[in-house]
Chain A
Amino acid sequence: MRLELEGLTKRFGSLVACDHIDLTVEPGEIRCLLGENGAGKTTLMNMLYGLLRPDEGRILLDGTPQTCTTPRDAIEAGIGMVHQHFMLVPVFTVAENIMLGRESTRRLGVLDQRAAEQQVRELSERYGLEVDPTARVEDISVGVQQRVEILKALANDAKILILDEPTAVLTPREIDDLIEVMRTLKANGTSIIFITHKLKEVKAIADRITVIRRGKVVDTVGPDASEASLAELMVGRPVQLTVSRRAAADADGEPASGATAEPSEEQAAESADDTSDTRPVQLRVERLRVVDPAGRAVVDDVSFDIAGGEILGIAGVQGNGQTELVEALMGLTDIAGGVIELAGQPITHLEPRARLDAGIGYIPEDRSHDGLVPTFSVAENLVLDLFRRKPFGSRGRLSLSAIRTNAEKRIAEFDVRTSSMHAPAGTLSGGNQQKVVLARELSRPLKVLLAAHPTRGLDVGSIEFVHRRIVAERDRGTAVLIVSTELEEIVALADRIAVMYRGRIVGIVDADTPWDELGLMMAGVPPEAAARQAEEHPTVLGALEDAS
């Protein structure tokens, strides 16, 4: 089916989320929609799927104008959507989930389980999407759950499939499987609209790439476009894609340029010397265990140490114990066993405040929930965990002038874009909110910095800024722990990488470990086996990543 969008426009108040967007997707085409968070990709797709009504413009399917006002209309017209967050019932089986809302019944309204399973089996064979119809959704992996979502759309005879950030929750290996599935669908004549902000995926998958910036279509290019040019289209200016962990000191002084300069051999050797055995261990974690209310270990026997001036990256698919690990290190969650040492001193049983005072800086993964008070002013948020210390507080009194002076300084230093220091922090953009958190945490001498998903949801420019600051903090001699589900981020910043799977650390490896090997470890394969398998079965994305 051929999809045409003509002058599609959506406004929210004064904000134009989509500004006269024209887009044509041919039958059997895989089209990527590339853009930063907030560029208008999701708004566009929500209009297509009947969740939002366009203010202007038309949607045509095979030349016929559509008036989809609900998702049901869209589904009937042949449009299917797989949301970023799955809409599945965990306690139902795969077949039940796929047939939900279109159950076949026998007499007296009894559900025909068999028929449903048979239908799912046929569907999965036809499209080459392997699933077990009788398995319960809560027992299958995220990758397979996504496949169920796709099957659900196909069961509704979707001719156009929208995938909203489908790779965010997948391991590299699962991404590879997804790519395979998409190619099968394409061969069957299904059109796919693939929404993402990741450059490398786009190149591996797309037939054509449409870049959206600030609600407008900037350009449509082929998959052979370079990453640098795609990034420039996306952001509107040349960007440095990765802040090299080694070249931090150099890059700091330079304006952002199109490509990262390769560090010379000498520099690499020099900083390698710096970070290895010479510096003392600042954070040591031994046999740490955290259990959830049901008694299951969510952090299971985790041990590592980080030296001053070193970045340890924790890689892994979301929900494998990273959140609990960081909260345990901050004292925000009870631990079931193990030891945490800060600069040789045990801090296992200290309160969060004592840990902050002892020299831990913390960038929580959910900044508006844990990192900021959205209704407080920027100035107040800049002293949220410092207000008791001089000069902000002394003998119970708050010094408003010291808080103002501090705010002026930090806002300038971290380039926080705000109308005023008195503006509520909740009115700032995500990137600027994160700068406030960063400015606060980095404004005191630290021994250890814990950064959980420090760039999640940020635009490319802010990501670059945050990365620079973190690397600069490392260079100052702080031990840094970074948790991220974006393997690219970990590989770019970390000196060593620990991969977590189901609460355990699968292995701690060097930063130059091949992409595919890390990907396999993220699925629980131990390092040696991962190295072997990665060589035997390279993935499309892995080859691209290692090449860059």
Chain B
Amino acid sequence: MRLAEHVRRMSWLYEVTISAAAVVLALVAGAVLIIVSNPAVVATWGYFFDYPPDALAASWTVVSDAYAALFLGAFGGLRALSNTLIHATPLICAGLGVSLAFRAGLFNIGAQGQLIVGAMAAGWVGFTVQLPPVLHLVVAVVAGLLGGAVWGGVVGLLKARTGAHEVILTIMLNYVALYLLQWSLTTEAFQRPGRDDPISPEVHPSAQFPHLFDTRLHMGFLVALAAAVAVWWLLARSTAGFELRTVGANPHAARTAGMNVGRVYTFVMLLAGALAGLAGTQQVLGTTYPLTDGIAGTIGFDAITVALLGRGSPLGTVAAGLVFGALTAGGLQMQITTQTPLTLTTVLQATIVLFIAAPALVRAVFRIRARRATGPVQALGWNA
């Protein structure tokens, strides 16, 4: 038994190592970028062979300043910390939606669209309907969940019924959702009276997430953590989760064992959509209050990275969401104090994905020994 536990812990450790290594490698690549994008530092490298200390000192200063600003902006104080958590909240929820789909062998590129529709539904209930405080929030959140669930569920249903590929469907539905949002913000039902630009009224205070610790951090963060626990329970402890994981790991064996693969796809995409919809709900009810056409930002796409970095596990997704939240919050601070462009954090995020997608490369760099069993199901998404 003890050996078995050991083996299990090893594989868990392996996942964490790969993800952490990818983050470290990305930071190294980012350091190189910081150096080459600073003309003064590049100049010192011009006479590196005559007097090396200059180049090294200048490089060290510029990199350490930038990363120190990044770190302070993310963790330096209550305000920084709350910023990190605010950014992390929708990333965790949407990331959970993508992770869950991964585990069923589906590549859900549609978190963005599901998030938009969820935000639209929650926002509309928030600024149109009049209800007592707590009830209003609950109804608005449920509306957001349903909105996302419909947008995701359609994909699952179409895949189950017609065999259409979920990647194509979700990409297309992302466009549909975005244009639907832009159009609806020109209609009477959504547009703020007296405004010409695409913006809705603010959601009523009765439908807003309450703030925590006197900061901008809102209850939505706790909801995100609760969602992560729920997804963990579903995957690890429920019969539905067992079925879902089986379909993800080997759809043929799942079918042979009497599982209805199509039904599982529909169920999973409903849930994944609801989770992304929850992210949209948190944006509109917790952060922005009015609905705008930029409400989703790139959260739905970053969520894919978060899920990848989290290796498809709920706990990992929470951790990855926090890392990305910190990168965003810290990146803003870094731009202010060291004039390092915010786009660097985008590069960092992209590089992380690159390294995650190429675990063999990460293993080679750090000489991590490969696990014997085949890895998690991420790679299955494309051809499942």
Q: Hey, which bits of chain A sit against chain B, CB under 8 A? A: 330, 332, 351-357, 362, 364, 369-376, 380, 384-385, 387-388, 393, 396-398, 400, 419-424, 426-427
Contact = CB atoms under 8 A, between A and B. Distances in A.
A357 B260 CA distance: 14
B235 to A, nearest CB: 10
Q: Which 8 A-B pairs have the closest CB atoms?
A: A353-B258, A420-B4, A385-B257, A393-B239, A424-B373, A422-B4, A373-B250, A370-B256
A373 B253 CA distance: 6
Contacts of B252: 369-370
Contacts of B259: 353
Contacts of A419: 3-4, 7
Contacts of B153: none
Interface string B340-384: 000000000000000000000000000000001110110000000
Contacts of B258: 351-357, 385
Given A375-B374, A387-B242, A421 B4 contact: yes
B257 A384 contact: yes
A371 B249 contact: no
Given A384-B246, A385-B258, A397 B239 contact: yes
A373 B246 contact: yes
Contacts of A332: 255-256
A380 B239 CA distance: 12
28 contacts: A330-B256, A351-B260, A352-B258, A353-B259, A353-B260, A354-B258, A355-B258, A369-B250, A370-B255, A371-B256, A372-B253, A373-B246, A373-B250, A373-B254, A375-B249, A375-B374, A375-B377, A376-B249, A384-B253, A388-B239, A393-B242, A396-B239, A398-B242, A419-B4, A420-B1, A422-B4, A423-B4, A423-B7
B256 A422 contact: no
Interface residues of B, number: 31
A369 B255 CA distance: 11
Contact of B238 (A372, A376, A380, A397): A397
A306 to B, nearest CB: 21
Contacts of A356: 257-258
Contacts of A397: 237-239
B32 interface: no
A371 B260 CA distance: 16
Contact of B246 (A351, A376, A393): A376
B249 A396 contact: no
Given A370-B252, A372-B253, A376-B249, A398 B241 contact: yes
Given A370-B252, A375-B377, A398-B238, 9 more contacts: A352-B257, A353-B259, A369-B252, A373-B253, A375-B249, A385-B256, A397-B238, A397-B239, A419-B7
A398 B256 contact: no
Given A376-B246, A397-B238, A422-B7, A369 B253 contact: yes
Contacts of A424: 373-374
A400 B235 CA distance: 13
Interface hub of B239, B242, B257, B373 (most chain A Cβ within 10 A): B257
A400 B237 contact: yes
B176 interface: no
